[in-house]
Amino acid sequence: MPSLQGAPRFVRACFRQKVDRTPVWFMRQAGRYMKEYRDLRKKYSILQLAKTPELACEVTLQPIRAMPIDAAIIFADILLPIEPMGARLRFAPGPVIDNPVRSAADVRRLKDFDSREGLSFVLRAIALARRELGPIPLIGFAGAPFTLASYLIEGGPSDHFLKTKAFMLEQPKAWDQLMGKVRRITAAYLKAQVEAGAQAVQLFDSWVGCLSPEQYRKCVLPHSRFVLSALKSSGVPVIHFGTGTAGFLEDFASAGGDVIGVDWRLDLDAAWGKIGARAIQGNLDPTVLFAAKPVLKSAVRDILARACGRKGFIFNLGHGILPQTPVENVKAVVDWVHAWSLN
């Protein structure tokens, strides 16, 4: 563990060190719920924002200017690595991959690449944001192997992941080859983000909750473990986040990560009991941010009560902020968490 003397409370909490109050940040904290972001989107597409370092830096900073959150997360998209691999990606308005992976031959056609070249714009945005953020730590991120593979196979988002599961179960050799390529690229990409200045990284497994425990253990866990193990020597905290993981949270946590992110489908204290002596991040239901203030206050207090002042707690949502979320409610949660957790 690196020296934490003078480290920000977010970084200290990731390493289960004493903090003066609970740190708080939000997944998708820079995005459609903010007028500043919507104004930029009138001029630029998502890919234009993500691929222009100055614009990506600006979007990263927008929530930092608006509220006293304890960490920034670089503005990017988890699908950016699939383009240099050879996928044809567009947004219409959601992501669409025009040449999905459906066979072993498709897997072989996917290219390896150097993140410092193929994703240089993300690394440049990280460097720019670090200069602007001062003492506020910056989080880098990437999609986990299963989530990226599912996008590649489905050709976009999916409700039931029929094509992904069929590929995984019926073509196990091709599946392992696909996951092997994705995991190597993901590990190298996250390392490059740390080299560019990210002070923490998060591995997003947004779709992993569609799997059975056995499917996760057999087909996914080894590949996630590869990525998370590769980051152990980076010197920065690593957050491992997934949704719908309550049924196999012990296995999910065993893949690695200094911090385990959990969603709202499992009480925070119960989740902590499953992951053991590890920092935890979560786990307010994003829809509760739309509720009346008394309801929202009660939900925040409940989560803080379940954390019970234990070391290694980072307040966050169980997934990303939803569009149309009232900004004033997001700001209120930040203020409440800081005020009610003061040590």
Is position 335 annotated as part of the catalytic site? no
Catalytic one of 9, 16, 70, 151: 151
Count the Cβ atoms, other than its own, within 10 Å of residue 97.
Answer: 19
Instruction: State whether the Cα torsion 272-278-279-283 is positive or negative.
Output: negative
Q: Encoding tokens for residue 223?
A: 């590949």
Is position 28 annotated as part of the catalytic site? yes
DSSP code for 24:
B
Catalytic one of 32, 217, 278, 306: 32
Which ranges constitute the DSSP H helices of 119-161? 120-133, 145-154
Catalytic one of 9, 12, 16, 28: 28
H/E stretch holding 284: strand 279-284
d(CA 75, CA 72): 9
Amino acid, single-letter form, for residue 175:
W
Amino acid, single-letter form, for residue 95:
P
Catalytic one of 77, 205, 258, 263: 77
Catalytic one of 41, 102, 184, 306: 41
Beta bridge partners of 300: none
Is position 151 annotated as part of the catalytic site? yes
Is position 216 annotated as part of the catalytic site? no
d(CA 63, CA 151): 28
Is position 32 annotated as part of the catalytic site? yes
Residues designated as active site: 28, 32, 41, 77, 151
